[in-house]
Amino acid sequence: MLEKGRRNRIRIGIAYQTRIPRLLSTPHTDPDEKSTLLWQPISEKNEQKLNTFLEIAVTKHKYSVEQALAFLISNENDFNAATNDLKLWAPIRGDKFTTDEVKKMVDYSLHEDVMDFVKLKEHVFPDKSMGSILQCYYNTWKMNS
């Protein structure tokens, strides 16, 4: 607090300035640390290979274009290795649920204190796999809450 009778004022002069020390050391940088290259433009001669790779990935293996490009990036733009990797991994495929089926699932979950997926499969969706029921539930219900 200010004493009575003293006015606020800006203090000027060397006694009121801070002393900033010189830089003590340089920040640690790792020369091996590199950023991740996400995409490198394809040359015109490889554009046909890229189109063929994307066509195989999307039509035959049911990947999205983004997933297929991720395979290509992870294989350092090696089309043969990326094509071989497509066979090793499978995209998540679930049974398609109609809007009415999703509404049934939401209604069921609202009327139950605890979500019992076994009962849900037995009574509401006997023709669907448990994995697809879980996937649909979490994609529509949990992601939106």
Q: Could you report the per-residue pLDDT of 98-143, keeping only the tens digit for each?
A: 777 777 777 777 677 667 888 878 877 788 888 887 877 777 666 5
pLDDT confidence of residue 60? 87
Residue pair 106/133 in contact by the 8 Å Cβ criterion: no
| Residue 64 burial (C-beta neighbours within 10 Å; 0-12, 13-18, 19+) | exposed
Mean pLDDT of 89-96: 63
Q: What is the pLDDT of residues 41-83, one digit of tens each?
A: 777 778 889 999 999 998 888 888 888 888 888 888 889 999 9
Report the C-alpha gap between 34 and 14 in whole angstroms. 45
Report yes or no: 39 and 69 within 8 Å, Cβ to Cβ. Answer: yes
pLDDT of 3? 63
> Collapsing DSSP states into helix, strand and coil, what is residue 64?
coil
Q: Round to whole Å and give the CA distance between 55 and 53.
A: 5
Higher pLDDT, 95 or 21: 21
Evaluate if residue 92 carries a pLDDT over 60.
no
